[in-house]
Chains A and B, each alone.
Chain A
Amino acid sequence: MDLSFTEREMEFRDEIRKFLSSNIPPSASKRVSMGFAIDPVDVLEWQRILHAKGWGASSWPKEYGGTGWSTTEQHIFEEECANANAPLQPPFGLKMVAPVIMAFGNQHQKNHYLPKIIQGQDWWCQGYSEPGSGSDLASLKTQAKRVGQHYIVNGQKTWTTLAQHANMIFCLVRTNTEVRQQEGISFLLIDMKSPGVSVRPIIMLDGEHEINEVWFDNVEVPVENLVGEENKGWTYAKYLLGHERTNIAQIGKSKRELNRLIRLAKLQRGPNGRLIDDQRFRDQIACLEIELNALEITNLRVISSQDKKGVGPQASLLKIKGAEIQQQLTELQMQILGPYSAAHLKEALTLDWVVPSGLSSYPDFAPALSGAYFNYRKTTIYGGSNEIQRNIISKMMLDL
């Protein structure tokens, strides 16, 4: 056993930390630290800053302009970015469609799409789920009919995260209805500006617009937008699931939020003093903290063995626990507010909000906390619900 980062890795961490400390636009990091909605301007600007530094794609090999970092280095980078409140690098392009294009796309697709992802020009979204196909994804019905040099796409995708900002969508579509479900699915890249594509917002329970329905009404998609072979899309989608997994547990973000929770509990006062001095509340933090301690080490165990063995069903473990911890963090952060947790100040969720004089006792850190609790119920549902993850463990690890 060697339970410490190497000296080289520690230097690497310092280098990342130093860069982040002086290169994240302050307004962008403020938005992240306040828990406000993602600002597409922040996201694209941050991607360009990272790209200029050569760090645009931490998980890509060097031949495509990536960093070529080891999984441990990627982990360190992601942890430091989270800790520094760096804006999100949306995973849909960098970590989802890009690996598929690299593995199964043709040279033209690689040359065309990958640079636009790393340079922050394209914003991708994911067209997988449909109203009738959630956990049973392979039953999807969105149809792509080959007509000459085009596919004509008809159908509806749903839960499409941040589609309102996206200009590209990668879709699983049905190209054959005669065969076993999994064998009639293709992987198609679609320009969101194509005639017939429409995006309708779905408002989540926190009142915010994060997800969407995407409708396809006789959308013409050039055949060169097919990735790999027709009817092999399911294989590519599964490849993705087993691919980028260093950040599935969101350890860095949860560590940041735990520190925030502790900080706020030391700040918040009641009739009996600071909230952190309330043993009942403090013990709940401690219980959550040890869960995160355990998951952090499990995550490092998976990462450090990944180069040797690849990631298998351990990813499901990381997802289940990571999602539960994120939820519990938002729950305790909401509880920090006590009675004020009920207040829903939608207008306060922006940087330029000025506290009205009559509301001066409302804590400035409060606006997003309760909404986050409601919003984060999603974590155990998306990306394969925690129940689906348990099915995967039963099948792949336990052979049940």
Chain B
Amino acid sequence: MNFEYSEIQVSLQDSLEKYYSKNYTFEKRQSYASQTTGFSDEAWKHYAEMGLLALTFPEQYGGLIDSPAPPDLAAETSGSSGKTTSLTGANTVNTAITGEENMWVMEFLGKSLCLEPYLSTVVMAGQALLHYGNEHQKSTLIPKISGGELKIALAHQEPDSRYETHHISTLATPIELSLNEKKQWRVNGKKCMVLNANSADQIIVSVRTAGAVSDQGGISLFLIPSNANGLSMANYKTHDGNRASDVEFKDVIVSEDDLISVQGNGFRVLGDILGWANAALCAEAVGIMSKICDLTLEYLKTRKQFGVPIGKFQALQHRMADMIISTEQARSMAILAVKAQSETDFVKRQREISASKAYICRAGREVGQEAIQLHGGMGVTNEMSVAHYFKRLTLITQTFGDFNYHIAKVSDYLLVDV
């Protein structure tokens, strides 16, 4: 067993961190956060030049992985239990590689508190297209993602769905067509908290092509240009300096060419997309937590009261020790989330990801809150970078499932007789 990054990954991570600590300083970061898009186009270009955006894609689609493309996950046989039976070895290798690459990149982005939409475009949309897209989508879109020329957002949450991916009222109603014409639908509904929608060229939207509002069946995913007729957005800032939007669809026309995976398979695809996303968020959280520990430790050693550095006080030492422990444990769970991605049983895969995310929600809360407390009055000002790490970390614990949502998944898995 080996739980460490490869030498190449370590050296890439190190050199990126060094470069970003000089060229993506906290002050610059704050200025990027105040731009319209909420991030730096220049940094996004730099990611592309460095190959970061291509790391998780096969060479044939302009990526850097020199192994064959994974088989279509949509082709898996999915029984009534939701268990998969035919995830092949080739794919297992691939998801293991992509999971690990995403882990070190997200950890780096967390440490550097980067704002660019890697999660939306590369992790969620990119992996969705790679594993569930058709050949045309893969060969035209993935090279653009790798090259930094295409950004895609995921619109799946609705005002009354909270974190439940299958609670969908956005409807796609079929349009009457003559024979031989491709299937078309009219999409109507509203999505909320769509991350990075304001800078996205295209949007993946989850809609109901059949079934009742909370059915797992009857969900389909479509890829829609963000300037499509009938699509409108209300953009807002988030507490961590990012951007999100509520997106409304009024008679937006989509065709079967825009489907990701097959019609009605959306629940399964969304499950995997959010699995990859949560694994990535776990890694980002670990990067943030380790940075927060560094910042807090430095503060304990430099801030003096009663004539000594406050780190001399045992009451504070033990809290710092607990922060370190939680961060190490969180790293272990982020590793579990990487491992989970090549787990062949869909339900087990979801359980492992939820276990990781639940743990990170709790550990992130502890580490973040303690860091602010140990920074004293300085911790509650907007000047210190630790406050901004804390805000990002807090939002991670509220994104794509909070503690209660994920612990319920782990808890309910106890009822499954394994």
B1 and A3 contacting across the interface, CB-CB below 8 Å: yes
Could you write out 28 A-B pairs with CB less than 8 Å apart?
A: A1-B5, A1-B335, A279-B411, A282-B414, A283-B411, A286-B410, A289-B355, A289-B410, A289-B414, A290-B333, A290-B355, A290-B359, A290-B410, A291-B359, A293-B355, A298-B328, A300-B1, A303-B1, A314-B328, A317-B328, A387-B318, A390-B318, A390-B321, A391-B314, A391-B318, A398-B324, A399-B301, A400-B300
> CA of A180 to CA of B36 in the docked complex: distance in angstroms?
66
Interface size of B in residues (CB-CB distance below 8 Å): 41
Other-chain contact of B1, A72, A287, A321 (Cβ < 8 Å): A72
For window 265-306 of chain B, which residues contact chain A by CB distance below 8 Å?
A: 297, 300-301
Given contacts A321-B329, A400-B300, A400-B301, contact A390 B1 (CB under 8 A): no
A394 and B318 contacting across the interface, CB-CB below 8 Å: yes
Given contacts A283-B408, A286-B411, A390-B318, 18 further A-B contacts (CB under 8 A): A1-B4, A3-B96, A279-B411, A282-B414, A286-B410, A291-B329, A293-B332, A297-B336, A298-B331, A300-B3, A301-B335, A304-B1, A304-B2, A305-B3, A391-B317, A398-B297, A398-B321, A398-B324
| B100 CB–A CB distance under 8 Å | yes
| A360 CB–B CB distance under 8 Å | no
A293 and B325 contacting across the interface, CB-CB below 8 Å: no
> CA of A320 to CA of B325 in the docked complex: distance in angstroms?
9
Name A297's closest neighbour in chain B (CB-CB). Answer: B332
> CA of A3 to CA of B358 in the docked complex: distance in angstroms?
21
| A393 CB–B CB distance under 8 Å | yes
Given contacts A282-B414, A304-B2, contact A3 B324 (CB under 8 A): no
Other-chain contact of A1, B100, B311, B320, B328 (Cβ < 8 Å): B100
A2 and B2 contacting across the interface, CB-CB below 8 Å: yes
> CA of A259 to CA of B325 in the docked complex: distance in angstroms?
25
| B407 CB–A CB distance under 8 Å | yes
Interface mask (B1-21 → A, CB under 8 Å = 1, otherwise 0): 111111000000000000000
A residues in contact with B335, CB < 8 Å: 1, 3, 297, 301
For window 339-362 of chain B, which residues contact chain A by CB distance below 8 Å?
A: 339, 355, 358-359
Q: Pick the most buried of B300, B314, B414: most chain A CB atoms within 10 A of its CB.
A: B414
> CA of A294 to CA of B318 in the docked complex: distance in angstroms?
20
B96 to chain A, nearest CB (A): 8
| A276 CB–B CB distance under 8 Å | yes
Provide the main secondary structure of the chain A interface: helix
A398 and B329 contacting across the interface, CB-CB below 8 Å: no
| A285 CB–B CB distance under 8 Å | yes
Name A393's closest neighbour in chain B (CB-CB). Answer: B321
| B193 CB–A CB distance under 8 Å | no
> CA of A297 to CA of B331 in the docked complex: distance in angstroms?
9
Given contacts A2-B1, A394-B318, contact A301 B300 (CB under 8 A): no
Other-chain contact of B333, A1, A286, A297, A399 (Cβ < 8 Å): A297
B359 and A276 contacting across the interface, CB-CB below 8 Å: no
B355 to chain A, nearest CB (A): 5
Q: Pick the most buried of B2, B4, B325: most chain A CB atoms within 10 A of its CB.
A: B325
A-B pairs, top 6 by smallest CB distance, nearest first, are A297-B332, A286-B411, A394-B317, A393-B321, A390-B321, A294-B329
A residues in contact with B336, CB < 8 Å: 293-294, 297
Name B358's closest neighbour in chain A (CB-CB). Answer: A290
A residues in contact with B322, CB < 8 Å: 390
Given contacts A286-B407, A286-B414, contact A394 B320 (CB under 8 A): yes
B residues in contact with A357, CB < 8 Å: none
| A272 CB–B CB distance under 8 Å | no
B residues in contact with A279, CB < 8 Å: 411
| A262 CB–B CB distance under 8 Å | yes
A5 and B359 contacting across the interface, CB-CB below 8 Å: no
B residues in contact with A283, CB < 8 Å: 407-408, 411
Interface mask (A273-314 → B, CB under 8 Å = 1, otherwise 0): 000110100110111011101111110110111000000001
B332 and A301 contacting across the interface, CB-CB below 8 Å: yes
| A4 CB–B CB distance under 8 Å | yes
| A397 CB–B CB distance under 8 Å | yes
A285 and B320 contacting across the interface, CB-CB below 8 Å: no
Interface mask (A1-27 → B, CB under 8 Å = 1, otherwise 0): 111111000000000000000000000
Name A399's closest neighbour in chain B (CB-CB). Answer: B301
A residues in contact with B109, CB < 8 Å: none
B residues in contact with A296, CB < 8 Å: 332
Name A320's closest neighbour in chain B (CB-CB). Answer: B325
B402 to chain A, nearest CB (A): 14
B414 and A285 contacting across the interface, CB-CB below 8 Å: yes
Interface mask (B113-144 → A, CB under 8 Å = 1, otherwise 0): 00000000000000000000000000000000
Name B335's closest neighbour in chain A (CB-CB). Answer: A297
A393 and B314 contacting across the interface, CB-CB below 8 Å: no
Given contacts A287-B407, A293-B355, contact A276 B414 (CB under 8 A): yes
B residues in contact with A294, CB < 8 Å: 329-330, 332-333, 336, 359
> CA of A393 to CA of B325 in the docked complex: distance in angstroms?
9
B residues in contact with A289, CB < 8 Å: 355, 410, 414
A397 and B324 contacting across the interface, CB-CB below 8 Å: yes
Other-chain contact of B3, A5, A286, A304, A387 (Cβ < 8 Å): A304
A13 to chain B, nearest CB (A): 13
Name A9's closest neighbour in chain B (CB-CB). Answer: B1
Name A395's closest neighbour in chain B (CB-CB). Answer: B317
B3 and A262 contacting across the interface, CB-CB below 8 Å: no
Other-chain contact of B325, A262, A305, A317 (Cβ < 8 Å): A317
A4 and B1 contacting across the interface, CB-CB below 8 Å: yes
B residues in contact with A303, CB < 8 Å: 1
A262 and B414 contacting across the interface, CB-CB below 8 Å: yes
